[in-house]
A and B are shown apart, each in its own frame.
Chain A
Amino acid sequence: MAGYIGSKVVKALITLWLIFTVAFLAARISGDAMDFIMPEGMNEEAREAMTSYLGLDKSWLEQYWLYVRNVFHGDLGTSFHFRQPVIDLYTQRFIPTLTLCGLAMLLSMAISIPLGVIAALKKNRPAGFLIQSAAFLGYAVPNFVLAILLILVFSFHLGWLPSSGSDTMMHYIMPVTALACTLIASLTRFSRSALLDVLSQDYIRTARAKGVGNFSVLTVHGLRNAMITIVTVLGLQVAALVSGSVVIENVFSWPGIGELLVFAAIKRDYPLLQTGVILVGTIVIFINFIVDVVYVLIDPRIQPGS
């Protein structure tokens, strides 16, 4: 098990390094940070002084090398815009994002698996058809559209829920719902088809032939196997969920990584952007790691480390 976790960590570090490299290059190719830092009409000398102060006069390779070296010394850089270490800026924001994504994931599972089960059991019946259609609709609506709709209805017209911030439990309802919607829809559909597939297997017939009750057949024999597919899909959707959170955080002014990340991208705040991307990558890898552990727990055919 230790070796399994060790190899996972090594793979995670390589992935993060690749993500960082892409972010590093993409940020620089897409625009010059100086255009955003210096006001219009500043003189050339001041601009050059600022450029060399921020280390942007060096070649990309040199900047890359310096940054990587600093990261290994625990220094993720200083934000161009805020003039603060980026690590301080993100510390406060890491937990809200993780909470938002985690809650959205739990909510998706809590809703979509039962819905998928009902849709599978009521196949060709009105209830099943309704769930299938609703899931299709949920899948088709982009989460930012849903987010704005939610704000319009529940904050603007009804005034029930706060539209921004994260101070109380009430603040969580809309962002989590908006973020979870796509995942609920896709997981419902996958749960349904996974369960239908499992229920047509020979071992389900064996279980029935043994005289096992319907509920046990469904849960012990059916869902346990269907969960393998569901968890796989969940693992694949995590990246989409976390990147979706960037948009949702901005719509709801959620004080998370995503909100700051968008700011960093617009302002070409390289250190802020690079660190943000690494953090988002870390969250995706972390959730995927949990998924992998769950995977080993439900499927005895998977041996960790082999």
Chain B
Amino acid sequence: MNDHFKIYEHSRQRNVLDVRNLSVAFTGRKTKKTVLSDVSFSIRPGETVALVGESGSGKSVTALSLLRLIERSGGVISGATYFTDNDGQTVDILAQDEKELRAIRGNKISMIFQEPMTSLNPVLSVGFQITEAILAHRDVSAEEAKREAIDLLHKVEIPDPERRFGDYPQQFSGGMRQRVMIAMALACKPSLLIADEPTTALDVTTQARILDIIQRLKEEMNMAVLFITHDLGIVSEIADRVMVMYCGSIIEKADTRNLFNAPSHPYTSGLILSMPAVGSARGKGVPLPAIPGTVPAVWQGARGCTFSPRCSYAIERCRHETPLLQRRNPHSFVEVACHRAAEIRSMLGSLLPWVEAGELGITA
């Protein structure tokens, strides 16, 4: 066993999640569409990592693959996903059988979804749906499970939980349903919570409350969170680290502060610059800078940078050679997949003055 591997093994011990070269493809009779290619990342215990990107970039596919929920829709997963629970036990999720997976889902890794309106079963009471999560994993009596479920409803700040226990999802508002989803997800105190755009379908006030609840419970339960969103404003508020996804690949990884102050990838800076800020002079009368074009549904080209067709900095090399995700420089933890990252960064300079002046819709 060489030293490099030992170090890797060591670092792996400390991470809740270690995703190595995760790829997902959907195969038809003749076609094979790769929607996720060689995604690698890790999450440390108690950390909030944001996965950002436009619709169709592969964020949700990543989330669903982590719990192996994508296979039923025909997705083929490859790579490795090492998961270490709070007791220090490590398993490769991709090597687990159905029974072992069930023991992880909702127990050690939980997930909340984007649509609280459709993610709860309309014919079952919310109380039943929460106790079901408890009873699926733990050997407790029905009364004990009910007591815990009411306690959970209390924790997610649902008023009068005893009375609302027997109510059905349609008797709750969107925000309240998302709280129920959170209560359900946290029923077994998971080591990792995957939140797939949990606030996207909610109005802004409700959004803030839900984020507060997730943040508070995350700290209470010492849980890591993979937060998937396309809202950079939310990222700047809650995430420790950010991963930017484009067309099925991670193109930049950085700690939140670094990412917003000094984005390395032209796509990331494009995303940040296109954000309006409340009360900012920027964007008044003049259109906000937008990234031209749209995300391709599935990357067709065999080689080259997936962003190159939309990139104003693209050179010949970008169209022929796929840039790999690598450290910006040997001393930095920022990783970026761009041939011209260094040049572009010196051209753009830091966005810090903009951020500090409140010109961007994010907080420094």
A111 to B72, CA, bound (A): 27
A140 to B120, CA, bound (A): 39
Which 8 pairs of residues, A with B, have the shortest CB-CB distance? A210-B106, A211-B106, A211-B105, A202-B118, A203-B121, A209-B111, A210-B133, A202-B119
Instruction: For the complex, count residues of A whose C-beta is within 8 A of B.
Output: 23
Residue A220 at the chain B interface, CB threshold 8 Å:
yes
Inter-subunit contact B102/A205 (CB<8 Å): no
Listed by A's residue number, 26 A-B pairs whose Cβ atoms lie within 8 Å are A201-B118, A203-B119, A203-B121, A205-B119, A206-B113, A207-B132, A208-B69, A208-B72, A209-B110, A210-B105, A210-B133, A210-B136, A211-B102, A211-B104, A211-B105, A211-B133, A212-B132, A212-B136, A213-B102, A225-B121, A225-B122, A225-B123, A228-B123, A299-B123, A301-B123, A301-B170
Q: How far apart are A22's CB and chain B's nearest CB, in angstroms? A: 38
Q: How far apart are B68's CB and chain A's nearest CB, in angstroms? A: 9
Residues of B132-147 at the interface with A, using a CB-CB cut-off of 8 Å, are 132-133, 136-137
Instruction: Beyond A210-B110, A213-B136, A221-B124, list 19 extra A-B contacts (CB 8 Å).
Output: A201-B118, A203-B118, A203-B120, A205-B69, A206-B184, A207-B121, A207-B132, A208-B105, A209-B67, A209-B106, A212-B106, A212-B132, A220-B124, A221-B121, A224-B123, A225-B121, A298-B123, A300-B123, A301-B170
A94 to B105, CA, bound (A): 55
Inter-subunit contact A211/B103 (CB<8 Å): yes
Residues of B160-186 at the interface with A, using a CB-CB cut-off of 8 Å, are 168, 170, 181, 184
Inter-subunit contact B105/A205 (CB<8 Å): no
**Contact bitstring A121-163, B, C-beta under 8 A = 1, else 0:** 0000000000000000000000000000000000000000000
A214 to B123, CA, bound (A): 18
A238 to B122, CA, bound (A): 27
Q: How far apart are B181's CB and chain A's nearest CB, in angstroms? A: 7
Q: How far apart are A272's CB and chain B's nearest CB, in angstroms? A: 46
Q: Which residues of B contact A301 (CB under 8 A)?
A: 122-123, 168, 170
Q: How far apart are A210's CB and chain B's nearest CB, in angstroms? A: 4
Residue B249 at the chain A interface, CB threshold 8 Å:
no
A224 to B168, CA, bound (A): 14
Q: Which residues of A contact B122 (CB under 8 A)?
A: 203, 225, 299-301
Q: Which residues of B contact A206 (CB under 8 A)?
A: 113, 119-121, 181, 184
Residue B107 at the chain A interface, CB threshold 8 Å:
yes
